[in-house]
Structure 1
Amino acid sequence: MTDYRFIGKSTPRKDALDIVTGKTKFINDITIPDMLYGKVLRSPLPHALIKSIDTTEALSLPGVKTVLTYQNAPDWKAGFPLHARVLDKKVRYVGDAVALVAAETEDIAAEALRLIKIEYEPLPAVYDAEEALQPNAPQLYDQFPGNLLPPERRLFGPNTLQEVVIGDVEKGFAEADFIIEGTCAYENIPNPLPPEPPGVIAAWEGTDTLTVWSASQGPHMFKVTLQKRMGATNMQSIGSPVGASYGSKYMSWQYVLPAAALAKATGRPVKLCYGKTEHMAAFTVRLGSRIHGQVGMKKDGTVTALSGNWLLNTGAFSEITQGMVAVGCGEAQLMLKCPNWHLKTQVACTNRTASGQVRGFGGQELKCALVPIITMGLEKAGIDPVDFFKKNYVKPGEGYYWRDGNWWVCKGIDYTAAIEKGAETFGWKEKWKGWLKPSSVNGARRRGVGVGVHGNADVGEDISEAFVRLEPNGTATIYSGLAEHGTGQRSSICKMVAEILQLPLDRVTVTPTDSRVNPFEIGPVGSRGTYAIGSAVIAAAEDAKRQLLELMAPKFAVTLEELETEDGMVYVKGKPETRLPWIKGMGYDRTCLGRGRFEPDFTLPNFMMTFAEVEVDTETGKVDLIRVVGATDVGQIIDPPSLTNQLNGCLGSAGIDSALFEETVLDTRLGRIINPNMIDYKWRTFSELPDMEHVILETPFPSHRFQAIGIGEITPSPGPSAVLMAVSNAIGVRINDYPLTPDKVLRALGKIAAAKKEGK
């Protein structure tokens, strides 16, 4: 491995001091002159028509500047296809927006909400995706008969993947030694729970110029996706530091469009920030996923056919669900070599909180439901799951259809070494006793082990552009729309530029996230920060360096290839004693502006294998996560602490713990979420952390100068299915849905009776 000056070394984050001293301004810290405060009145009913709405008293309250309802709000729509209005006459879930208020203070706005009088006509509601698709189910949208969202064929190009149909499944089943069939559900709609709730400030200049400040990990995409919908000829999108997102605060229109509508109505800037309860009960959660499938398999573990129906519950609207379907269908092929597929998909609207993108984007939802069905075949064949995944995970030269519907061939690396090292570190061979067999028994306590696998070719998704400007004084500025969403990615690109230019880190800075300043950037999603964004930044730095050395070459009477730069000085290679500062070639009146652009490349899928050990108390049903080992290969570590923190984050943010207790509990009698707070929503505290170990290999990737790829987004994804497998092995009984709460464990053991559906 190359011994770099900065890359692979632990260095302080550029923004660390500002964060810990409170200098960093998050969206709720920002104020704009003459700013108003927005609030949203939300529906108490899951499905209803608004018969009448009286805003007279609210408008007469001193300090209230406007009240918007479906009668006077802009007819802006969002979702794929466009279907969800800012305000509608029909409400479709408890928490749906009914009215918007802008006032001089938050307290006045909140008081105004209480003065709005509404009469509803209740309508029947449906919460289960399968029930929503029945002929007589309540209908949410006239444009979606039967509550079935149409496939989206344009989102990622004209052939956007919405199913996996390859080969001949009947032929494949005929070749199988046995066929297994099963159903598994991952639909406990966990919340990613970023510490900072969503927030935005919107301000209009005239009727066609809009500025938006947002806590979004993809602020540039607000401009791309929302500008035309709001009739804004010009839109400036400014990103504030994000108090975490985990995918959930990307292009979320639910708070941007209301703020923009209020700002347009009042002619003043409007801030709209969610409260925590509002965040948990009315903002988007993870998709509900259920698969009924058949798998044909030979005795040696070769999968000959896979057929099934993937049913997704998107809730009250689709933010980008069909895009998650596309990625999930691609990711399934990375995990499983199978010549014959017939995996069909259906997306259903229901009267629960809508689903949006969450870390794991489609693939986690699919694999958490699909892997348990596949392992039923492994159980029948008596095959070790680690051996199966090692055999079946995509290898260089093998291909897959990705989200764009095109065939791509893997040019990455073989992850066998990472799997074997992970298994060795975990002690898999010693702990694995076979299917539905505990690894140890101590009275009522039984331990079990499980494993899961995940990967994503979106590390090379979409477009990134970057500029790097060199100043005569020996400093560099990166122009990038990369938002800081808690991972330290902006510091990492500074390290890349510093390494290329051999500048001290304190001489490299990044511009604020502002669409009027920076070139195009889709944002740090899908683990694309290291490869896609990094490639654009690296290319820009190399271009700027080339320009600098061209200017300096005449000063030394050599070619630019003979020159090198370090610490703002240029010298001839092999003769470092004679140096000139940059200003000698640039003068005081010149800068060097390098440009970089990354084009999509889906040939380098990443990888994560999670090993889990649990202990189950068969008397109480309580499950404890004892140990977690994550194994991966990143090519080259850019920043060790950032990578470690990403791997440590595998538990929460709707990750591993969604297999155990993280659950958004919906009371289907009232349509209400009954645990929208940090007490009743069960989540892990620091004192309950399991033993965690990370196996990180560094096999060079054909990615960019530093031969690295990202893995942050996928770290939680293999965990839930690994824990599900571990618990089933510990108790000797298969459980095929999440989370593994004590009542569910005891029910599987036959110690309590099955719960009635209506009592859920």
Structure 2
Amino acid sequence: MKEYRFIGKPTPRKDALDIVTGRTKFINDLTIPNMLYGKVLRSPLPHALIKSIDTAEAMRLPGVKAVHTYKDVPDWMGGLPLHVRVLDNKVRYVGDAVALIAAETEDIGEDALRLIKVEYEPLPAVYDVEEAMQPGAPQLYEQFPGNILPQGIPAFGPHSLQEVVIGDVEKGREEADFIVEGTYAYENIPNPLPPESPGVIAAWEGTDTLTVWSASQGPHMIKVSLQRRMGSINLHSIGNPVGASYGSKYMSWQYVLPAAALAKATGRPVKFCYGRSEHLAAFTVRLGSRIHGKVGMKKNGDVTFLSGDWLVNTGAFSETSQAMVAVGCGEAQLMLRCPNWSLKPKVVCTNRTASGQIRGFGGQELKCALLPLLTMAMEKAGIDPVDFFKRNYVKPGDGYYWRDGNWWVCRGTDYTKAIEQGAGTFGWKDKWKGWLKPTSVKGVKQRGVGVGVHGNADVGEDVSEAYVRLDPNGTATIYSGLAEHGTGQRSNICKMVAEILQLPLDRVSVTPNDSRVNPYEMGPVGSRGTYAIGSAVIAAAEDAKRQLFELIAPKFKVKAEDLETEDGMVYVKGKAGTKIPWIKAMGYDRTVMGRGRFEPDFALPNFMMIFTEVEVDTETGKVDLIRVVGATDVGQIIDPPGITNQLNGCLGSAGIDTALFEETVIDTRLGRIMNPNMIDYKWRTFSELPEMEHVILETPFPSHRFHAVGVGEIATAPGPSAVLMAVSNAIGVRIHDYPLTPDKVLSALGKITTAKRRAK
């Protein structure tokens, strides 16, 4: 790879000192003059009609400034398609919003909630995805018979991917040497659990301008998505530093609209921040995913067909579930070079807290259910899973339908080397003993290994725009709506601009995240920060540099392309002895503004493979994750510590540990989440971290001038299925019920009998 001044080198993050010294202001640190605090009364029932609601006593409490019920809240809508009111006369899960309060303090708001009297008419509830589709099942929405939501997503275009139907499945059956079928699921609906809970401040200027301060991964998209839903208002979105998101805190109408409603009613700014228990019980969890499927395979590992029904449990409403289905259907094709498909998804509502977008975005949910089915066929064929993935993962020249419904041809790299080097680092050939065979047995301790794979073409999703302004004093300012959500991406785009302009890093800065200042930005989702956002920033910097050289070329009596710049000085290439500072070219009264724009490109899918080794205590059923090796190829590494930390993040927050202990537990007798706290919601501590190692190749990609793509978002996705495989191999029995808690392991070993859990 090319040697750079900044790219590929460890450099301090721009925000590092502020974060570690406590100067960074997260949303809950902000106070706006005259600000009120918003609180939500939440339903104790999973499904009910509100017969009556009395707020008089709450309104009389000193310090209470507004109380909203379904009778007086603005008629704004959320969901996909729009189907969820801010407040409704029907509640659909325990934790659904019943009333809103704005008060002078949080304590007054909490006291006021207890004064609201509500009479409910309980309705039958349904939690299982298949039961919800049965005739006579409780209906959550009259407009969605059978609780089945319409497919498609307008934002992805008129032909957005709704299923994978390719070739001739019957022909594939005839060509198969082995056919397996079964039902597999990934339904423990874990919480992404970012350290910072969701929060927002809303304030109106007059009747048609709303300013929103948010802890959002996509602050510009709050403006784009919500201002049309609110009657074509002008929404001014200000993004704060985000205490992690993991995909979950994006457009987030669930808390922006209630805050805006209270601010409108009171004429004062309103802050609304979830508490931790509220976050765990009433905000985004992963989709529930269940597959009834069949797979045909030849003896050499070629897959001849895949067919099945993919049942997606979205909970009480869809935030972006259809979009996740579209991406998941695309990602399945990246993993599997199969000529004959019939994969039919259904998105179904049930009476639990709603699922929403989380890193892995549909593909993790699909593959965690689909891969166990595929491994059954691999076992019949006697094929090593590493060899299978090496044979079947998408290669340059292969085609696939992506989320927009269009056929794309891969022009990326062949990931075979990454797979081979990852397997070598892990010691796969020595550890792999065959299907359902442990790597080692020492008394009651048995070890096993597994592997999973994932990829995503959304590294080039959607549009990004950026400006780069050059000032006479030799500084550059990037205008970008890129949110800082913990990954260091804002620092990384500074590195890109510094490299192009050859400026010291301390002379490059990024504007505050403000929709009145910055151009359009989709946000750092789907690992698009490096390619999509980076491409827009690079183009803007190159445009600014070109304009600068055109200004100064006459002074040197050369063409613009003959010039170079370093540390705010311009010189003729090969003649660095004579330099002119930028100010000589620009004067004091001029700035140079470069512009860049990225258009969607789904032809460069990324890749992640995870190898896992587990140890199972066959006496207690406890599973320990011993070792993890991640393998990928990202092109040029932009920031070495950054990518290492991204890959280290594969464990928790709805990642690998969803195979071991992370789950949202619902009591289906009451509809209540039983573990909405950090004691009962099982979570890995630092003392329990496994040995981790990463193999990161740097094969140049045809992306932008630095030949890189992003990979952080998919770091979690291959892990759960890899652990499932490893545990099955360790104990010699197939087990496919996430998470692999001790009772399930002992039950699989025939040592105890457990009641079957109802799907969540």
Which category of TM-score, normalised to the shorter sequence, fits these structures? over 0.9
Further displaced range: 591-600 or 567-576: 567-576
Give the drift of 1:704.
0.0
Partner of 2:665: 665
Tell me, yes or no, if the aligned pair for 2:128 and 2:759 is still in contact at 8 Å. no
**Cα deviation digits, residues 364-416 of structure 1 (max 9, x gap):** 00000001100100000100000000000000001000000000000000000
Partner of 2:414: 414
Report the Cα distance in structure 1 between the residues aligned to 2:30 and 2:481, rounded to whole angstroms. 19
Mapping 1:599-748, distance limit 5 Å: 599-748=599-748
Give the drift of 1:759.
11
Q: Report the AA paired with residue 662 of structure 1.
A: E
Partner of 2:443: 443
SS at 2:14's partner residue? coil
Is residue 543 of structure 2 the alignment partner of residue 569 of structure 1? no
Further displaced range: 466-475 or 137-146: 137-146
**Cα deviation digits, residues 263-302 of structure 1 (max 9, x gap):** 0111111000000000000001000001110001111111
Q: Report the AA paired with residue 189 of structure 1.
A: I
Give the drift of 1:261.
0.4
Is residue 129 of structure 2 the alignment partner of residue 116 of structure 1? no
**Cα deviation digits, residues 692-751 of structure 1 (max 9, x gap):** 000000000000000000000000100000000000000011112200000000111111
Partner of 2:272: 272
Unaligned runs of 5+ in 2: none
Q: Report the AA paired with residue 132 of structure 2.
A: A
Is residue 88 of structure 2 the alignment partner of residue 93 of structure 1? no
Partner of 2:496: 496
Partner of 1:285: 285
Q: Report the AA paired with residue 300 of structure 1.
A: N
Superposition CA RMSD, Å: 0.9
Mapping 1:220-619, distance limit 5 Å: 220-619=220-619
Report the Cα distance in structure 1 between the residues aligned to 2:496 and 2:503, rounded to whole angstroms. 10
Tell me, yes or no, if the aligned pair for 1:359 and 1:653 is still in contact at 8 Å. no
Partner of 2:752: 752
SS at 2:248's partner residue? coil
Partner of 2:75: 75
Report the Cα distance in structure 2 between the residues aligned to 1:106 and 1:153, rounded to whole angstroms. 38
Report the Cα distance in structure 2 between the residues aligned to 1:756 and 1:539, rounded to whole angstroms. 56
**Cα deviation digits, residues 444-493 of structure 1 (max 9, x gap):** 11000000000000000000000000000000000000000000000000
Report the Cα distance in structure 2 between the residues aligned to 1:231 and 1:262, rounded to whole angstroms. 16
Partner of 2:44: 44
Partner of 1:64: 64
Aligned length: 760
Further displaced range: 107-116 or 146-155: 146-155
Is residue 167 of structure 2 the alignment partner of residue 167 of structure 1? yes
Report the Cα distance in structure 2 between the residues aligned to 1:562 and 1:757, rounded to whole angstroms. 71
TM score, norm. by length of structure 2: 0.99
Tell me, yes or no, if the aligned pair for 1:207 and 1:232 is still in contact at 8 Å. no
Tell me, yes or no, if the aligned pair for 1:203 and 1:269 is still in contact at 8 Å. yes
Is residue 201 of structure 2 the alignment partner of residue 201 of structure 1? yes
Report the Cα distance in structure 2 between the residues aligned to 1:536 and 1:354, rounded to whole angstroms. 34
Tell me, yes or no, if the aligned pair for 1:166 and 1:340 is still in contact at 8 Å. yes
SS at 1:115's partner residue? coil
Further displaced range: 307-316 or 556-565: 556-565
Runs of 4+ aligned structure 1 residues displaced above 4 Å come to 756-760
Give the drift of 1:233.
2.5
Give the drift of 1:546.
0.5
Q: Report the AA paired with residue 712 of structure 1.
A: G
**Cα deviation digits, residues 633-678 of structure 1 (max 9, x gap):** 0000000111010000000110000000001111111100010001
Partner of 1:134: 134
Tell me, yes or no, if the aligned pair for 2:134 and 2:146 is still in contact at 8 Å. yes
Give the drift of 1:757.
4.3
Report the Cα distance in structure 1 between the residues aligned to 2:145 and 2:434, rounded to whole angstroms. 47
Report the Cα distance in structure 2 between the residues aligned to 1:505 and 1:754, rounded to whole angstroms. 59
Tell me, yes or no, if the aligned pair for 1:151 and 1:162 is still in contact at 8 Å. yes
Give the drift of 1:154.
2.1
Tell me, yes or no, if the aligned pair for 1:288 and 1:365 is still in contact at 8 Å. yes
Tell me, yes or no, if the aligned pair for 2:747 and 2:754 is still in contact at 8 Å. yes
Report the Cα distance in structure 1 between the residues aligned to 2:653 and 2:533, rounded to whole angstroms. 23
SS at 1:155's partner residue? helix
Partner of 1:152: 152
Tell me, yes or no, if the aligned pair for 1:209 and 1:232 is still in contact at 8 Å. no
Report the Cα distance in structure 1 between the residues aligned to 2:696 and 2:18, rounded to whole angstroms. 30
Tell me, yes or no, if the aligned pair for 2:743 and 2:754 is still in contact at 8 Å. no
Unaligned runs of 5+ in 1: none
SS at 2:356's partner residue? coil
Report the Cα distance in structure 2 between the residues aligned to 1:683 and 1:130, rounded to whole angstroms. 30
Cα 1:24–1:322 shift into 2, 3 Å? same
Q: Report the AA paired with residue 34 of structure 2.
A: D
Is residue 7 of structure 2 the alignment partner of residue 27 of structure 1? no
Q: Report the AA paired with residue 383 of structure 2.
A: I
Tell me, yes or no, if the aligned pair for 1:495 and 1:505 is still in contact at 8 Å. yes
Report the Cα distance in structure 2 between the residues aligned to 1:163 and 1:221, rounded to whole angstroms. 27
SS at 1:224's partner residue? helix
Give the drift of 1:562.
1.1
Report the Cα distance in structure 1 between the residues aligned to 2:702 and 2:302, rounded to whole angstroms. 30
Tell me, yes or no, if the aligned pair for 2:536 and 2:597 is still in contact at 8 Å. yes
Q: Report the AA paired with residue 541 of structure 2.
A: A
Tell me, yes or no, if the aligned pair for 1:148 and 1:348 is still in contact at 8 Å. yes
Give the drift of 1:756.
4.5
Q: Report the AA paired with residue 667 of structure 1.
A: D
SS at 2:114's partner residue? helix
Further displaced range: 603-612 or 731-740: 731-740
Report the Cα distance in structure 1 between the residues aligned to 2:45 and 2:233, rounded to whole angstroms. 37
Report the Cα distance in structure 2 between the residues aligned to 1:307 and 1:391, rounded to whole angstroms. 20
Report the Cα distance in structure 1 between the residues aligned to 2:198 and 2:543, rounded to whole angstroms. 38
Report the Cα distance in structure 1 between the residues aligned to 2:302 and 2:189, rounded to whole angstroms. 33
SS at 2:154's partner residue? coil
SS at 1:227's partner residue? helix
Report the Cα distance in structure 1 between the residues aligned to 2:178 and 2:416, rounded to whole angstroms. 27
